[in-house]
Amino acid sequence: MSNSSFFISELRSHFPILNQTVNDFPLVYLDNAATTQKPLAVVDAISHYYLNDNANVHRASHQLSNRATTSFEAVRTAVQQFINAKSSKEIIWTKGTTEGINLLANVLASQLQRGDQVIISAMEHHANIVPWQMLVKSHGIVLKVIPLSADCCLDLEAYQALLNEKTKLVSITHISNALGVINPVKEIIKLAHQVDAQVIIDGAQAVAHLTVDVQDLDCDYYVFSAHKLFAPTGVGVLYGKQDLLEKLPPWQGGGEMIKSVSFKETTYNELPFKFEAGTPNIAGVIGLGAALDFIKGYDHERLKAHEQSLLHFTEKALSAIPEVTLFCAGVKKSGAISFTIKGESAADIAMLLDAQGIAVRSGSHCAMPLMSELNCNGTVRVSFAIYNTLEEAQRFIEALKKLLQMLQ
- The residue ranges that bind ligand PMP (CB under 6 A) are 96-98, 125, 127-128, 173, 177, 202, 204-205, 225, 366
Instruction: Work out how close the CB of 47 gets to ligand PMP at its nearest, in angstroms, rounded to a whole number.
Output: 23
Question: Considering beta carbons, is residue 119 or 399 the nearer one to ligand PMP?
Answer: 119
Instruction: Work out how close the CB of 171 gets to ligand PMP at its nearest, in angstroms, rounded to a whole number.
Output: 11
Structure letter (DSSP) for residue 183: P
For residue 366, indicate whether it is catalytic.
yes
What stretch of H or E contains 22? strand 21-22
Instruction: Work out how close the CB of 114 gets to ligand PMP at its nearest, in angstroms, rounded to a whole number.
Output: 27
335 near 208, Cβ under 8 Å? yes
Question: How far, in Å, CA of 25 to CA of 359, rounded?
Answer: 11
Tell me the C-alpha to C-alpha distance, in Å, between residue 298 and each of 229, 333, 392: 14, 22, 21
* 209: nearest Cα among 334, 31, 80, 313: 334
Question: Considering beta carbons, is residue 349 or 370 the nearer one to ligand PMP?
Answer: 370
Structure letter (DSSP) for residue 49: I
Instruction: Work out how close the CB of 104 gets to ligand PMP at its nearest, in angstroms, rounded to a whole number.
Output: 13
Report strand pairing: 267-268 vs 258-260: antiparallel
Question: Considering beta carbons, is residue 231 or 349 the nearer one to ligand PMP?
Answer: 231
Question: How far, in Å, CA of 306 to CA of 397, rounded?
Answer: 18
Report strand pairing: 117-121 vs 167-173: parallel
Question: Considering beta carbons, is residue 12 or 125 the nearer one to ligand PMP?
Answer: 125
Catalytic pick from 152, 153, 366, 376? 366
141 near 260, Cβ under 8 Å? no
Collapse the DSSP code of 359 into the 3-class scheme (helix H, G, I; strand E, B; otherwise coil) and give the result.
Answer: strand
Question: Considering beta carbons, is residue 96 or 250 the nearer one to ligand PMP?
Answer: 96
What stretch of H or E contains 213? none
Q: For 140-203, list the strands marked E by DSSP.
A: 142-146, 167-173, 198-202
Collapse the DSSP code of 209 into the 3-class scheme (helix H, G, I; strand E, B; otherwise coil) and give the result.
Answer: coil
Report strand pairing: 21-22 vs 25-26: antiparallel
Question: Considering beta carbons, is residue 117 or 177 the nearer one to ligand PMP?
Answer: 177
Question: How far, in Å, CA of 37 to CA of 13, rounded?
Answer: 12
Instruction: Work out how close the CB of 93 gets to ligand PMP at its nearest, in angstroms, rounded to a whole number.
Output: 13
Collapse the DSSP code of 40 into the 3-class scheme (helix H, G, I; strand E, B; otherwise coil) and give the result.
Answer: helix
Instruction: Work out how close the CB of 101 gets to ligand PMP at its nearest, in angstroms, rounded to a whole number.
Output: 7
Catalytic residue numbers, as ranges: 366
